[in-house]
Amino acid sequence: MTVHVHVRVMPRPGLLDPQGQAVEHALTSLGFAGAAAVRVGKAIDFTLEAESLVAAEAMVREMCERLLANPVTEDFVIEVSS
Amino acid sequence: MTVHVHVRVMPRPGLLDPQGQAVEHALTSLGFAGAAAVRVGKAIDFTLEAESLVAAEAMVREMCERLLANPVTEDFVIEVSS
Protein backbone atom coordinates (compact mmCIF):
# COMPACT_ATOMS: atom_id res chain seq x y z
CA MET A 1 0.00 0.00 0.00
CA THR A 2 1.03 3.59 -0.56
CA VAL A 3 1.22 5.55 2.68
CA HIS A 4 1.24 9.34 2.87
CA VAL A 5 3.71 10.55 5.48
CA HIS A 6 3.92 13.93 7.21
CA VAL A 7 6.86 14.56 9.53
CA ARG A 8 7.45 17.66 11.65
CA VAL A 9 10.96 18.17 13.01
CA MET A 10 11.05 20.94 15.62
CA PRO A 11 13.81 22.39 17.81
CA ARG A 12 13.59 20.94 21.33
CA PRO A 13 11.96 23.04 24.04
CA GLY A 14 14.55 25.11 25.84
CA LEU A 15 16.91 25.31 22.89
CA LEU A 16 17.40 28.71 21.31
CA ASP A 17 15.46 29.13 18.05
CA PRO A 18 16.64 32.33 16.33
CA GLN A 19 14.39 31.77 13.32
CA GLY A 20 11.37 31.43 15.59
CA GLN A 21 12.31 34.62 17.43
CA ALA A 22 12.68 36.47 14.12
CA VAL A 23 9.23 35.31 12.98
CA GLU A 24 7.72 36.32 16.33
CA HIS A 25 9.20 39.82 16.07
CA ALA A 26 8.05 40.14 12.46
CA LEU A 27 4.50 39.09 13.38
CA THR A 28 4.43 41.66 16.18
CA SER A 29 5.76 44.34 13.79
CA LEU A 30 2.96 43.51 11.35
CA GLY A 31 0.38 44.07 14.08
CA PHE A 32 -0.39 40.46 14.95
CA ALA A 33 -0.43 40.71 18.71
CA GLY A 34 -0.95 37.58 20.76
CA ALA A 35 1.41 35.23 18.92
CA ALA A 36 3.93 33.72 21.32
CA ALA A 37 6.34 30.82 21.65
CA VAL A 38 7.00 30.72 17.92
CA ARG A 39 9.17 27.78 16.85
CA VAL A 40 10.28 27.09 13.29
CA GLY A 41 11.26 23.62 12.15
CA LYS A 42 11.13 21.38 9.12
CA ALA A 43 8.07 19.82 7.50
CA ILE A 44 8.84 16.74 5.42
CA ASP A 45 6.16 15.08 3.26
CA PHE A 46 6.54 11.94 1.18
CA THR A 47 4.89 8.74 0.06
CA LEU A 48 6.08 5.35 1.20
CA GLU A 49 5.42 1.83 0.02
CA ALA A 50 4.72 -0.29 3.11
CA GLU A 51 2.68 -3.32 4.15
CA SER A 52 0.64 -1.45 6.74
CA LEU A 53 0.35 1.89 8.52
CA VAL A 54 2.06 0.38 11.55
CA ALA A 55 4.99 -0.84 9.46
CA ALA A 56 5.18 2.54 7.74
CA GLU A 57 5.30 4.42 11.03
CA ALA A 58 8.08 2.17 12.33
CA MET A 59 10.08 2.77 9.15
CA VAL A 60 9.56 6.53 9.32
CA ARG A 61 10.64 6.55 12.96
CA GLU A 62 13.91 4.91 11.93
CA MET A 63 14.29 7.45 9.10
CA CYS A 64 13.89 10.26 11.61
CA GLU A 65 16.40 8.77 14.03
CA ARG A 66 18.99 8.12 11.32
CA LEU A 67 18.58 11.05 8.94
CA LEU A 68 15.70 13.48 9.24
CA ALA A 69 16.15 14.74 12.80
CA ASN A 70 19.10 15.49 15.05
CA PRO A 71 18.23 13.54 18.22
CA VAL A 72 20.23 15.95 20.40
CA THR A 73 18.54 19.16 19.32
CA GLU A 74 15.27 18.19 17.62
CA ASP A 75 12.03 16.37 18.34
CA PHE A 76 9.87 14.85 15.64
CA VAL A 77 6.19 14.06 15.15
CA ILE A 78 5.06 11.48 12.59
CA GLU A 79 1.67 11.27 10.88
CA VAL A 80 0.86 8.45 8.47
CA SER A 81 -2.34 8.01 6.47
CA SER A 82 -3.42 5.75 3.63
CA MET B 1 -8.54 31.65 24.80
CA THR B 2 -5.09 30.34 23.98
CA VAL B 3 -4.98 28.52 20.66
CA HIS B 4 -2.21 26.15 19.62
CA VAL B 5 -1.30 26.66 15.98
CA HIS B 6 0.58 24.35 13.61
CA VAL B 7 1.40 25.63 10.13
CA ARG B 8 3.06 23.67 7.32
CA VAL B 9 4.50 25.68 4.44
CA MET B 10 5.44 23.46 1.49
CA PRO B 11 6.85 24.14 -1.97
CA ARG B 12 4.07 24.05 -4.55
CA PRO B 13 3.65 20.89 -6.63
CA GLY B 14 5.64 21.15 -9.84
CA LEU B 15 8.23 23.49 -8.41
CA LEU B 16 11.75 22.13 -8.05
CA ASP B 17 12.61 21.15 -4.46
CA PRO B 18 16.37 20.46 -4.25
CA GLN B 19 16.23 19.81 -0.50
CA GLY B 20 13.50 17.22 -1.04
CA GLN B 21 15.53 15.55 -3.77
CA ALA B 22 18.60 15.45 -1.52
CA VAL B 23 16.60 13.83 1.29
CA GLU B 24 15.12 11.29 -1.14
CA HIS B 25 18.59 10.32 -2.39
CA ALA B 26 19.91 10.08 1.16
CA LEU B 27 17.00 7.85 2.22
CA THR B 28 17.65 5.56 -0.74
CA SER B 29 21.37 5.45 0.09
CA LEU B 30 20.53 4.42 3.65
CA GLY B 31 18.47 1.50 2.32
CA PHE B 32 14.98 2.96 2.77
CA ALA B 33 13.46 1.89 -0.52
CA GLY B 34 9.93 2.97 -1.31
CA ALA B 35 10.10 6.62 -0.26
CA ALA B 36 9.10 8.90 -3.12
CA ALA B 37 7.91 12.42 -3.84
CA VAL B 38 9.84 13.84 -0.90
CA ARG B 39 9.14 17.54 -0.27
CA VAL B 40 10.76 19.61 2.44
CA GLY B 41 9.14 22.76 3.79
CA LYS B 42 8.76 24.73 6.98
CA ALA B 43 6.86 23.77 10.11
CA ILE B 44 5.85 26.72 12.28
CA ASP B 45 4.29 26.24 15.73
CA PHE B 46 3.06 28.92 18.07
CA THR B 47 0.36 29.91 20.53
CA LEU B 48 -2.14 32.63 19.78
CA GLU B 49 -4.58 34.59 21.91
CA ALA B 50 -7.91 34.65 20.07
CA GLU B 51 -11.62 34.74 20.78
CA SER B 52 -12.37 31.46 19.04
CA LEU B 53 -10.81 28.78 16.88
CA VAL B 54 -12.49 30.30 13.82
CA ALA B 55 -11.06 33.74 14.59
CA ALA B 56 -7.64 32.19 15.22
CA GLU B 57 -7.67 30.36 11.89
CA ALA B 58 -8.60 33.55 10.02
CA MET B 59 -5.76 35.42 11.72
CA VAL B 60 -3.25 32.65 10.95
CA ARG B 61 -4.38 32.61 7.31
CA GLU B 62 -3.57 36.32 7.09
CA MET B 63 -0.19 35.71 8.78
CA CYS B 64 0.59 33.08 6.14
CA GLU B 65 -0.43 35.33 3.27
CA ARG B 66 1.54 38.31 4.57
CA LEU B 67 4.62 36.74 6.14
CA LEU B 68 4.94 33.02 6.62
CA ALA B 69 4.51 31.76 3.06
CA ASN B 70 5.45 33.00 -0.37
CA PRO B 71 2.14 32.81 -2.27
CA VAL B 72 3.92 32.35 -5.60
CA THR B 73 6.01 29.34 -4.66
CA GLU B 74 4.49 27.86 -1.50
CA ASP B 75 1.24 26.38 -0.22
CA PHE B 76 0.29 26.31 3.44
CA VAL B 77 -1.84 24.13 5.71
CA ILE B 78 -3.17 25.46 9.03
CA GLU B 79 -4.17 23.42 12.08
CA VAL B 80 -5.59 25.12 15.17
CA SER B 81 -6.56 23.45 18.44
CA SER B 82 -7.50 24.69 21.89
Q: What's residue A10's pLDDT? A: 98
Q: How many CB pairs below 8 Å do chains A and B form together?
A: 103
Question: Would the CB atoms of B35 and A67 count as touching at under 8 Å?
Answer: no
Nearest CA in chain B to A25: B67
Question: Which pLDDT tens digit goes with each residue over A31-78?
Answer: 998 999 999 999 999 999 999 999 999 999 999 999 999 999 999 999
What does the domain layout of chain B look like in residue ranges? 2-81
Nearest CA in chain B to A41: B43
Q: What's residue A12's pLDDT? A: 97
Q: What's residue A14's pLDDT? A: 92
Question: Which pLDDT tens digit goes with each residue over A15-35?
Answer: 999 999 999 999 999 999 899
Question: Would the CB atoms of A35 and B63 count as touching at under 8 Å?
Answer: yes
Low-confidence ranges of chain B (pLDDT < 70): none
Task: Give the integer Cα–Cα distance in Å for A41 and B43.
Answer: 5
Residue type (1 letter), B34: G
CATH topology of domain A2-81: Mth169; Chain: A , (3.30.1280)
Q: What is the DSSP string of A23-81?
A: HHHHHHHTT-TTEEEEEEEEEEEEEEE-SSHHHHHHHHHHHIIIIIS-TTTEEEEEEEE
ipTM: 0.93
With a CB cutoff of 8 Å and minimum separation 6, the contacts of A51 are: A1
Question: Would the CB atoms of B8 and A9 count as touching at under 8 Å?
Answer: no
Q: What's residue B71's pLDDT? A: 93
A24 touches chain B (CB under 8 A): yes
